[in-house]
Amino acid sequence: MTYDTYEPSAAAGPAEPDVTGQGPWRVLVEYSNRGDLKPPTVVQVGKTEHAERGVALEAALRACREFNPPDPAFEQSRQVYRDGPDGFLVVLEGAMSTFHMSVRIVSPLGPPTTAQ
């Protein structure tokens, strides 16, 4: 397999500020909704706040093994992959199809904003 690669130019702008050490952390789970239901993608942010990033990552890893999305209905196997420094990709093999979900830790960068 070959994939296109992105080559950043030397004239790239400044990077985003480093916020990796900020908390509190919460576990976020993103998965496809059952069949043709709306919305097609569901994002659930956990209510538990973790002051330490490592503790939040442990909670996210537990969610990878324990959270049951609506699909597949008859799960046959589950494989967890590290997906960057703050998350995991979970591949769920069903009896007839393969599904996936993303589990990661997030930290709000400010209070919620409302639409204008």
In the chain, where the domains are located: 26-104
18-35 residue pLDDT tens: 455 688 999 999 998 776
Judge whether residue 84 has pLDDT over 80.
yes
Where b means 16+ CB within 10 Å and e means fewer, 64-89 reads beebebebbeeeeeeeeeeeeebbbb
Return the pLDDT at 16. Answer: 52
CA 55 to chain centroid:
16
Give all strands (DSSP E) within the chain, no chain letters.
26-32, 41-45, 75-82, 87-94, 98-106
